[in-house]
Each structure stands twice: as structure tokens, then as C-alpha cells.
Amino acid sequence: MSSDFETEPGLGAEAEISAFRDTEDRISPLWLERLRAFIEAGRVDDVALVMEPLHAADVGDVIESLEPAERLALVRLLGDWFDYSALTEVDESVRLELMEALPNAEIARGVTGLDSDDAVFILEDLEAEDRDEILSALPTFERLSLKRSLDFPEESAGRRMQTDFIAIPPFWTVGQTIDYLRADKDLPDEFYQLYVVDAAYKVLGTVPLDRVLRAQRGTKVETIMNATLVLVHAEEDQEEAARDFERYDLVEVGVVDESGRLVGVLTIDDMVDVITEEADEDIKLLAGVGDEDVSDRTVDTVRSRLPWLVINLVAAVLVSYVIALFNGTIEQMVALAVLMPIVASMGGNAGAQTMTVTVRALAMRELDGGRLQRLIRREMVVGFANGIIFAIMIGIVTALRYGDIGLGVVIGMAMVINMIVAGTMGILIPLALDKFKADPAIASAVFVTTITDIVGFFAFLSIAGLWFGLF
């Protein structure tokens, strides 16, 4: 370790935060080098000093920037100072690696006191045996609360909700409510509205905090509550819940169980995470890379990508068989071999454009009513229009290049056919997958590309064979 690190006095909190990021808003290499030196030397106080001012999201970035052994050493050195909410900010592979290395008793200590949604997020991917051991070490109320959330399906609103909320009866006055909020020490750290419930904890209405502050102390809560309710069922998919936030401009919403009882709340910070995760998942699935992260090991990345590359290989072999049907045609006119990738490539790109729009519309539930028919008609017309435009362009270029107007006409006709097919398949394939309850983001690209390649090659070569009498 360099003498600079040994003699440098501890910086203040503001200076540490300032030194943490470089001019390009990345973790400063000098800051990270200093932290690594402290970890290697086991200087607990210095490690705590440089980490303490950081937000949990920044701590997550630090953890991902360290080597696996350094990550574990950092957590162990910080001990009680380590905020386990930082583990919600790292890639899944990094989080699981750390959780497997830490004793269950240490994890139980770390998740105690976390917001219930953060604790559930950390525990849900653990083996059932480890999770049960950790839960058994928690205080009774917290254990029961977390077990209830973990019983809900994965990626449901029940898994994302916080079980801490403020419920009040309708007959309270504003004054009683304010006194309660000031006196109770077990209230959530942050909240945006109060929930008015009956004796069975069924929601009667909600009261935003600003309305409580503006009303007179003697005003009954039931007279100022919003009776028009937007509630989310605990077993509802988290993506659907996020869509409610976007549609109704929500900041917080109550979560109810199958009997209509209030069991938790969802807040906008959690829904932003859900929206980001779902968008990230769809982008990865469109590319056939599954749920891999940048922190995944090489072997895991290979294993994740291999199945889709195999499917692509099978599709490519199928396309090669179609081309093989026209070996004689290609041998008689070598220019066809040079030109045919143009038709297939344009069709593939056009199909990908339509497929992307369709997958997004399906994800956002925008294809209800007559919008589906309008989209199909529009994309077919767009495919035809683009086909005509590019047929003219490539036809002219081909005719000039090879001095053969007929060849330009042939590739133009094939271009129109393939662009129409691309636009149509870019819609129908995602719709078919969605109809059969398959995620259209997963396999649409493979099928669309394969079909446009086959149609493009077949149309171009068969039209050429007929036009020039090569069969």
C-alpha cells in the first residue's frame, strides 16, 4: 500500500462525495484505488469513513466495481455499518454471490429494519432452506410480514409492496389524525397519503397529506377523503401495477388481498424500478440474451446465449436449403448471388421495425378494440409503399450496374413482395406468440428474420428463373 494512503487524513463527508465521481460521472479510479488499499489493509475505520456518505445506489456501484473477494471483504469490514439496501442496487449475480458467502445469521441482522419491499427483494432468490433460517431469526412481526409477501407470486404487486402504511378510521378528526402521526414512533419513514379503512381493513378512501394539513382540526376525515379508489390486487403482475401508475399519475397506491383487505402499498420509486426492469428484460429478450447482466461469469453468459444461437443456426440451415433449390439458376447468372442478400436484408430490417412496434404495443396493452386492425392495415400499406420506393431505387442501381433492365425489374418485384411480407409477419408473429401465452419478445426476432430470408431468397430467385427462362 502506498504511503499516500497511509498518511492521508480522512476527508469530510462532502469531500468524500465530491471525490467519489470523476468529471464523466464515473467512480473515480483514485477514489476506488484508495478504498481497495484500505480494504487490503483491513483499516475498518477508514473504509467506514469513505463509504458512510454514499447513497445506497452508489454503494451498489462500488460493490460491482470491486473484485468478488474485495466485495466480501468490504461487507465484512463494514459489519453493522453496511446498509443491506445497497444489495437491491446490484446485479442479481453479484447479490447472490455475496449472499451465498455470508452466514445466514449475518444476513438476518442486515435485513432487520429494512423496508419490507427491500427485504423481500433480497431474500426471494435464496434457497428455501436458507430463507427459512434467516426468517426464523427475525422479530415475530417482521417475520410474519415478510413471509406473507414472499407467499405471493414472483413479479407480483405483493412481492413489491411495502407492508408499512398508515390506516385510520373514517370517524377520526383531522386533529386526532395529526396527533397520531406525531406521537406514533412506528410509522413508515416516508409516506404520501393515508388510507381510510373500516373495521375489516377494507379501504373506504384515501387522504393526501396536503389535504390533512390544509383542513381544520375539527374536520372529520370521511368528509375530506377521496372516495374514488385506484387499488392494486396483491397477485396482480407488477407490470400491470406500473401501468396503473403511468395511466393515473399515481405516487402511491394501496394493495389489497383476495378479500379486499389492505395489506400494503406500492410507491413510485418501486414502480420506476419495475418499469426499468421490464424494459431491460424486453430489450434483452428481443436480442436473445435472456436475463444476463454485465457482472455475470463468462460460463453463465455462454450458457444463456447458446440456446438462441442454436435456434438461429437451425434457421440459417433452413434458409440455405431454400437457396440450394436454385443452385442451377445461380450458376447460370452469378449476379443473382451478389444481389440476393440485399432483398433478404431489407426485408429483415423492415420486419424488425414492425416487430418492435408490435411487441411494445402488446406490452403496453395498446392493441385493444379497432387499433389492432388499423395497425395491421397500416403496416401492410407501409410495407407496400417502402417496397415500391426501394424497388425503384435498387432497380435503377442494378440496371445501371449490370446493364440489364430486366434484372432491375426482377429485384424490384422481389423487394416489393418481401417488404409486404416483412410488415405483415412483423405483426402476426408477435400476435400469435401472445395468443399462445408465449412472451412475444423472446422468439419473434428469430421467426421474423427466418421468414423474411426465406421469402426474400425464394421470391428473388424464382422470379429471376421465370423471367430469364433459367429453369
Q: What is the pLDDT of residue 146?
A: 95
Residue 293 lies in a domain: no
Name the 3-class secondary structure at 42. coil
Q: What is the pLDDT of residue 9?
A: 47
Q: Per-residue confidence of the chain (471 residues) as pLDDT tens digits?
A: 333 444 344 455 566 666 787 766 788 999 999 999 999 999 999 999 999 999 999 999 999 999 999 999 999 999 999 999 999 999 888 999 999 999 999 999 999 989 999 999 999 999 999 999 999 999 999 999 999 999 999 999 999 999 999 999 999 999 999 999 999 888 888 899 999 999 999 999 999 999 999 999 999 999 999 999 999 999 999 999 999 998 999 999 999 999 999 999 999 999 999 988 887 777 776 666 666 666 677 887 778 778 877 888 898 899 999 999 998 888 888 899 999 999 999 999 999 899 988 988 887 778 876 788 888 889 999 999 999 999 999 999 999 999 999 999 999 999 999 999 999 999 999 999 888 877 787 668 888 989 999 999 999 999 999 998 865
C-alpha Rg value of the chain to the nearest Å: 30
- Residue at a domain's end among 155, 178, 208: 155
Say if residue 312 is in the same domain as residue 267: no
- Residue at a domain's end among 286, 314, 339: 286
Amino acid (1-letter code) at residue 360: R
- pLDDT digits 0-9 by tens, 178-229: 999 999 888 888 899 999 999 999 999 999 999 999 999 999 999 999 999 9
Residue 145 lies in a domain: yes
Say if residue 237 is in the same domain as residue 311: no
- Residue at a domain's end among 286, 317, 344: 286
Say if residue 171 is in the same domain as residue 234: yes
Q: What is the pLDDT of residue 15?
A: 64
Partners of residue 288 on adjacent β-strands:
none
Say if strands 193-197 and 203-208 run parallel, antiparallel, or are unpaired. antiparallel
DSSP 359-377: HHHHHTT---TTHHHHHHH
Taking each helix axis from N to C terminus, what angle separates 116-123 and 128-136, rounded to the nearest 10 degrees? 140
Taking a C-beta distance cutoff of 8 angstroms, is the pair 359, 440 a contact?
Answer: yes
CA distance linking residue 357 with residue 430, whole number of Å:
10
Q: What is the pLDDT of residue 286?
A: 65
Q: How far apart are the first and last CA of the chain?
A: 78
CA distance linking residue 311 with residue 441, whole number of Å:
15
Backbone conformation region of residue 97, classed left if phi is above 0, alpha if psi is from -120 to 50, else beta: alpha
Say if residue 45 is in the same domain as residue 124: yes
Side-chain-side CA neighbours of 317 within 13 Å: the count stands at 6
Say if residue 145 is in the same domain as residue 238: no
Residue 68 lies in a domain: yes
- Domain membership of residue 323 as a residue range: 298-468
CA distance linking residue 420 with residue 393, whole number of Å:
17
Taking a C-beta distance cutoff of 8 angstroms, is the pair 286, 359 a contact?
Answer: yes
Q: What is the pLDDT of residue 252?
A: 95
Whichever domain contains 396, its CATH number is 1.10.357.20
Q: What is the pLDDT of residue 365?
A: 76
Mention every residue, 6+ apart, whose C-beta is less than 8 A from residue 339: 398, 407, 411, 460
In 373-405, which positions are buried (b, 16+ CB within 10 angstroms) versus exposed (e)?
A: eebbeebbebbeebbeebbeebbeebbeeeeee
Name the 3-class secondary structure at 257. coil
Partners of residue 226 on adjacent β-strands:
206
Name the 3-class secondary structure at 43. coil
CA distance linking residue 112 with residue 192, whole number of Å:
24
CA distance linking residue 389 with residue 382, whole number of Å:
11
Cα–chain-centroid distance for residue 107? Answer: 26
DSSP 283-325: HHHHTT-TT--TTS-HHHHHHHHHHHHHHHHHHHHHHHHHHHT
CA distance linking residue 431 with residue 219, whole number of Å:
54
Say if residue 328 is in the same domain as residue 444: yes
Contacts 24+ apart (CB under 8 A), 439-443: 439/285, 440/358, 440/359, 440/362, 441/281, 441/282, 441/285, 441/286, 441/359, 441/363, 442/285, 442/288, 443/311
Residue 128 lies in a domain: yes
C-alpha closest to that of 238 among 198, 278, 191: 278
Residue 161 lies in a domain: no
CA distance linking residue 73 with residue 36, whole number of Å:
10
Whichever domain contains 126, its CATH number is 1.25.60.10
Say if residue 335 is in the same domain as residue 453: yes
How many other C-beta atoms are found inside a 10 Å radius of the C-beta of residue 267?
22
Say if residue 178 is in the same domain as residue 138: no
Q: What is the pLDDT of residue 401?
A: 93
CA distance linking residue 370 with residue 368, whole number of Å:
6
Say if residue 107 is in the same domain as residue 205: no
Total of domains in the chain = 3
pTM of the model: 0.72
DSSP letter (8 states) at residue 170:
T
Whichever domain contains 191, its CATH number is 3.10.580.10
Say if residue 357 is in the same domain as residue 306: yes
Say if residue 280 is in the same domain as residue 302: no
Residue 291 lies in a domain: no
Say if residue 213 is in the same domain as residue 343: no
CA distance linking residue 281 with residue 415, whole number of Å:
33
Mention every residue, 6+ apart, whose C-beta is less than 8 A from residue 301: 292
Q: Copy the grid coordinates of residue 312.
A: 438461429
Taking a C-beta distance cutoff of 8 angstroms, is the pair 220, 234 a contact?
Answer: no
